Chains A and B, each alone.
Chain A
Amino acid sequence: MPNLTTLLAILQQSEYDFKYFNRWISEHSDDPTLIEPKNWSPKLKLIRFLTKLLKKLPGFSLTNSLKLATSLTQPGEWLIRQSLYLRASLKLWRAKRQGLVVIAFAGSYGKTSTKKIAEHVLTQFNSTLATAKSINTPLGIAQFVLSQLQPTHKYLLVELGEYYPGDILELCRFIKPKLGVVCPVGRQHLERMGNLGTIAATVLELADYLKNQNSVLLHESLKPFISQPNLWTWYGQSDITHWRLANASLSRSGTEGEILTPSQKFHVFSPLFGAHQLVNSLPSLWLAHKLGLESEKAIKSLGATPYVPHRHEPTFADNNVLILDNGYNSNPDSALHSLELLKKLPASSRIVITPGFVELGETSQELHQAFGEQLVDNCDYLAILDSIDAAAIKRGWLKAGGKHDRIFLAETQEAAILALKDKIIPNSIILFENNLPEIYK
């Protein structure tokens, strides 16, 4: 039986949702592996304290004590949350009166990169604050606003997360953004959301909230899900978009291309890898335009865009070996960008290390098999990490003609690297596609 620390870590990873917690418990009842929580939040510490007390009562198992302790914290937590929201709302209201512009980013994927790029560009002009890492829940945002927002900040960039319908609207009512960007929609959290249409409707709650079409920029992937698309402003690579990337080319220096705005055309360079990262840069140019900032300066600043952690973040190893870390929240749609990088970046050997994706519901096996098939044409060696659908990826790889001696199974990323040591030759590319917390293993 896992000990209390491990159970608390899993509870935290499941976002305190017992559906995912119970599933993990049922599959790991004999697993002695110790897992540490990501951080010991006050809530987690309180649950630990209460669990220890309850467990002393007769008839209370560890798991039941933990569940009851979690329930007992809820009323108090609700009160604390409401107090935090109220204080954060007041602080935002005052800051807006002094000129703060709040900009929201929704979407299934790409929003952290889009937000980070926008932060870099807008910082060239005025003091800009962006929510850290992937903080995107009401509580996380409220705490961030209370601790980080200063009177000197002119722009506040907020990432909005969604697990269920209504989440985005709730966040919008809280932060009341003036401008919004809806990033690509994809099969992220499919298990919780049910289907792509529901996901799209949820992320589009940002557009619904803002109402004014001129205040929102939408990624082209959302077009099938919106009525009267010609009323909205779009970005992407297709002809329907108003803010468009064309003629993208990729090298180990970075990515270059042409950016077409409704009135101008610019040559652009970004050290980030992939046309998708230049597409993620388009909203920052739209924002600069909406905020009355100089377009040319904004475009040129993209040449110094910092790498976004765990989003095709490069490490340059000796012998010109390029390691790309795409270890955060990959899904079958965003993974296509990784395949594109493997196809287009010059390399003597292309190695992929992946556990697959999570929360794909009933379609999971099918999508993992398809991923295995896609990998055959885009990588030379594949290491599949221990995960629920590892077998489906392997099946896809072999079905599409992938060789047995070019596929490896490994428990961890470290073990995969050791297994592939001899395959890493000068000029190789190693892609880490996704990295799963223990709850998904």
Chain B
Amino acid sequence: MSKLKLGVMFGGVSAEHEVSIITGLQLIKHVDESKYDITAIYVDKSGQWWTGDQIKSLEYFKTANVFSPADLKPFQLSLNPTSIQPIDVAILCFHGTTGESGSVQGLLDVAGIPYQGPSVLSSAISFDKIVTRQILKAEGISQTPYIWFTLEDWASNKAYWLAELAKLGEILFIKPANSGSSIGITRVEKLTEIEAAIELAGQFDHRILVEKSVTDCLEINVSVLADGLATQVSVAEQPLQKDEFLSFADKYQRAGGKKSGMASASRRIPAPISSSTYEKIKATAIQVAKILDFTGVIRIDFFANPSTEEIFLTEPNTIPGSMSFYLWQPSGLPYPLLIDRLVEIALQNQGRKQALVRTFETNLLQTASI
């Protein structure tokens, strides 16, 4: 039996271009090659699509011109879904603009290439922090208080918005509506810092979201694996600041002037929360996956107050860094099996789309006149 042609797509015109390369190459490294023929597909920073065996290795990217890479073949798909395509299934490893926002998803839909998801609509909604919050608010999902405005609103009446922001809270997060990771986001503690923060966020989007910071909370993330019918939730992680808890490990990292090989952890798995708090987060993650029609592997970020067991949803990430494999491994799903699941989900998504009624028997053209 011939192997499935698996296209792994990464890069893209995005501030998270480099992170996406790492996610893509990590995935390629863990694919079970006995099951798939891998095609690495790289979108450079100017938006050109490339392929080639060299780009399966990180070494290539250490010296590559990411605006116009050398020695690669252009990658092409036909928009005609009945054509023979170079890949059978795509796994999208893009982070940020175009690759995560629904645009590439739309392209693949047109070309008839299955991908893990989420769909165009789900990706587009989730990529906009303001729209996501509005939908989840309407569905009663607990979130931190927020307001939003456009750069035009801000410019036309700063005094009004400053008063609104002061009412919202003392510590605020200023975010562009469309941006992944922490790029363009500022935590402000003084009203005097707000203007610069809005200016920074405005470089990424003209729609600005401002969230109130909640006190005494831990940052807790889970990943969901959804196929449109059932949703699995991973163990929870607590991301750690690199300088957090360092003292003891640091002491031994350079024990006697030599490295002992120990560095501080960037995350704590499982997170230090009670089983009942975890169950609340799990139930909310499943609900959110349904509301936003997620498929594929998603990371959903929360704040949790360990003293009161209150939880607040922060945001979903529809194509998370490293595909959240580090959360699935301790949940009993090693990375190669996670990739198998993503391929299965992509094929299921395609099957569901094909099963939908798209054509009607109609005599409109016979009777129409223009």
Contacts and interface: CB of A to CB of B under 8 A. Distances in A.
Interface string A245-281: 0000001111010000000000101010000000000
A254 B216 CA distance: 18
Contact of B306 (A124, A303, A314, A316): A303
Interface stretch (A58-66, A191-199, A227-235, A317-325): A317-325
Interface stretch (B19-27, B99-107, B272-280, B356-364): B272-280
Given A301-B307, A304-B216, A317 B265 contact: yes
Given A316-B245, A317-B265, A318-B262, A269 B275 contact: yes
B135 to A, nearest CB: 30
A315 B245 contact: yes
B258 interface: yes
A57 interface: no
Interface in A264-311: 267, 269, 271, 300-301, 303-304
B262 to A, nearest CB: 5
Contacts of A251: 270
Nearest to B247: A315
State the majority secondary structure of interface residues on B: loop
A404 interface: no
Interface in B247-265: 247-249, 251-252, 255-256, 258, 260-265
Given A414-B252, A414-B256, A415-B255, A269 B268 contact: no
A317 B306 contact: no
A347 interface: no
Contacts of B269: 252, 320
Contact of A304 (B262, B266, B270, B307): B307
Interface stretch (A137-145, A163-171, A416-424): A416-424
A385 to B, nearest CB: 13
Interface in B219-253: 240, 245-249, 251-252
Contacts of B216: 304
B270 A256 contact: no
A417 B255 CA distance: 7
B308 interface: yes
A355 B150 CA distance: 63
B261 A424 contact: yes
Nearest to A313: B248
State the majority secondary structure of interface residues on A: mixed
A321 B266 CA distance: 12
A100 B255 CA distance: 47
B53 interface: no
A254 B270 CA distance: 9
B255 A318 contact: no
A342 to B, nearest CB: 18
A3 B219 CA distance: 52
A421 B261 contact: yes
A80 B308 CA distance: 47
A321 to B, nearest CB: 6
Given A267-B276, A315-B248, A300 B308 contact: yes
Nearest to B235: A253
B273 A316 contact: no
B262 A303 contact: no
B248 A318 contact: no
B271 interface: yes
Contact of B256 (A267, A315, A321, A415): A415
Interface in A382-433: 413-415, 417-418, 421, 424
A269 B255 contact: no
A116 to B, nearest CB: 16
B306 A323 contact: no
Contacts of A415: 255-256
A319 B309 CA distance: 28
Q: Which A-B residue pairs are the 3 nearest by beta carbons?
A: A269-B274, A303-B306, A271-B272
Interface of B: 216, 240, 245-249, 251-252, 255-256, 258, 260-266, 268-277, 305-309
Given A267-B274, A418-B260, 10 more contacts: A124-B307, A271-B306, A303-B273, A303-B306, A315-B245, A316-B268, A317-B264, A318-B265, A320-B265, A321-B265
